[in-house]
Amino acid sequence: MAATPAQAASLTPVSGFGSNPGNLGMYSYRPDGLPGNAPAVVLLHGCSQNATGYFNNSGWRKFADQWQFALILAEQKSANNSSTCFNWFEVGDTTRGQGEALSIKQMVDYARANYGINPGRVYISGLSAGGAMVSAMLATYPDTFAAGSVIAGVPYRCATSTINAFSCMNPGVNKTPAQWGDLARNGYPGYTGARPKVAIWHGTSDFVVGAANATESRDQWTNVLGISQTPISTTNLPAGTTLETYSGDQVRVYRISGMGHGTPVDPGSGADQCGTAAAYFLDTICSAYRDALYFGLGGSTGPSPTASPTTAPPPTPTCVTASNYAHVTAGRAYQSGGYAYAAGSNERMGLYNTFTSTTLKQTGTNHWVIGC
């Protein structure tokens, strides 16, 4: 009998990925058997952390293996910041085409060119300083990312120097939604394409980055997306988590009662569990699982907590006629460069808006084609 091959995939350092003006390190993880045109998630660690620790503890590896997507991890160097924080408060590192922001963009470009990553299905998530840098990337490169997750972070351009970074973090800065929205829009002046959807996570007892920042971040991204700051629904989730959903599920806010500063994880073998509890990885709820589903990485509905993905029957063929915007929101399609593409088949459906309608037929798990 042939022995079962061992898993060969591992977190791998990458050099020569671009001019790297921000002097960052790049790591990649590609699960065994990763197909061509796979999605990718960029991960940004917090202060005093590194790429390896975030990869090992955050829980994202489980879902990358399970649902076949790549991970790209940026790593700060102590030469740039003594606490290894991404420099989210430095204008030179958070402006399109400059510094650390450009270095992270170059990592995505490298993955697209060398790993065959789907350019319309690139996502980003980060904690604390990494979460603040997620906000910067969504503002400066909305044409690169389909969605992002800001964990214990702050709005884009909340601070523009070391001096005002601390007051931005705690207690936070209060601006109107329009003021926050203008700051984000100025990250890429003149951009008129589709904007990424955003998930925001924050513990109510976070005294490092004040919980008020969750509301300010919500105000920024709802304004950028042109939707109301009033949630359309509020849902109670495990570990004292409240999920607020905003128009079209374009923005989500997760508030975790009593949680301090860190990435929410939930160690265990359950379908919705992940990660390892450690410093700044707090045993509450698996944020990677929720974000992966929100990004559309686990299928349109996600796995059943009780059904095995290897034995579950294939989905019954389904035809849906809806606007391209509705298809993208429901996970049947994705957007890139102002156009909508059918999930799985990548067939171009036309403009990403509420006026253009398309009929899609489901032919497999998270695989849709035009027509019925």
What interhelical angle do 177-185 and 212-225 show, nearest 10?
70
Biggest CA-to-CA distance, the chain: 67
The count of residues in the chain is: 372
Alpha helices in the chain (DSSP H): 51-57, 60-67, 99-115, 129-140, 162-169, 177-185, 212-225, 287-294, 324-330
Residue 236, number of CB atoms within 10 A of its CB: 8
Tell me if residue 128 is catalytic: yes
- Sign of the alpha-carbon torsion through 187, 192, 193, 194: positive
Q: Please pick, among 103, 128, 135, 287, the residue that the annotation labels catalytic.
A: 128
The sheet that has 319-323: what strands, in order across it?
Answer: 319-323, 357-364, 367-370
CB 170 within 8 A of CB 189: no
Instruction: Indicate if the alpha-carbon torsion angle 182, 132, 301, 237 is positive or negative.
Output: negative
What tokens were used for 231? 């949630």
Q: Please say whether the beta carbons of 63 and 266 come within 8 A.
A: no
The three-state secondary structure class of 293 is helix
Do 320 and 359 form a contact (C-beta atoms < 8 A)?
Answer: yes
Which of 70, 118, 112, 109 is closest to 345 using CA atoms?
118
Strands 70-75 and 40-44, bridge-based pairing: parallel
So which residues are the catalytic ones?
Answer: 128
